[in-house]
Amino acid sequence: MEDRELFDTLKNRPDIEPEQAFSSSLRRELENNPKLKTKKVTVAPLLTIPMTIAIFVFLWMITTGQTLEIRSTASPIISQEKTMVFTGGLFVLLSLVLFIIFVFSKGYTKGKLVFITFALSLCVWVGNLVYANW
């Protein structure tokens, strides 16, 4: 319905003679300015593509029963290390929970922040799975 109305208004608008001097100067500016020509690369696809591949490879490795080779090299033996890992984990958990509460209490329904909450939750889950398999 809205599209129809928009279409009608567009169709019925008065035809104003285009300002040729302005548009040609704009075109020249666009052609000369290399900054405007460069394609904008956002963070989202740059991060998501390798992350998705990594997750699928990891899930495949786990489900087919292959062990991760790093297993023997890095396992915290000393209790001090364990406490440090525990404190670090707790810190990450608390900060992530607070971040999620902040984003949703602010009332964002879309955008980067909401995307980051989902991405971080998934990262944390995958990270914990990797750590558990060490």
Listed residue (12, 120, 126) closest to 61, CA to CA: 126
The distance of closest approach from Cβ of residue 131 to another protein in the complex, given in angstroms and rounded to an integer, is: 6
| Residues in contact with 26: Cβ distance below 8 Å, sequence separation at least 6, in sequence order | none
Report the alpha-carbon distance of residue 30 to residue 24 in Å, rounded.
10
Residue closest to 30 by CA, chosen among 17, 22, 19, 18: 22
Is residue 100 involved in binding another protein (CB under 8 A)? yes
Which one among 47, 51, 96, 113 touches another protein, defined by CB under 8 A?
A: 96
Question: Of these, 47, 89, 113, 116, which contacts another protein (CB under 8 A)?
Answer: 89
Query: Which of 40, 45, 58, 68 minimizes the C-alpha distance to 119?
Result: 45
70 in contact with another protein (CB under 8 A): no
Task: By CB under 8 A, tell whether 63 contacts another protein.
Answer: yes
| Residue 104 binds to another protein (criterion: CB under 8 A) | yes
Distance in Å, CB of 13 to another protein, minimum = 24
| Chain residues that interact with another protein, rule: CB under 8 A | 59, 62-63, 89, 93, 96-97, 100-101, 104-105, 107, 109-110, 114, 117-118, 121-122, 124-125, 128-129, 131-132
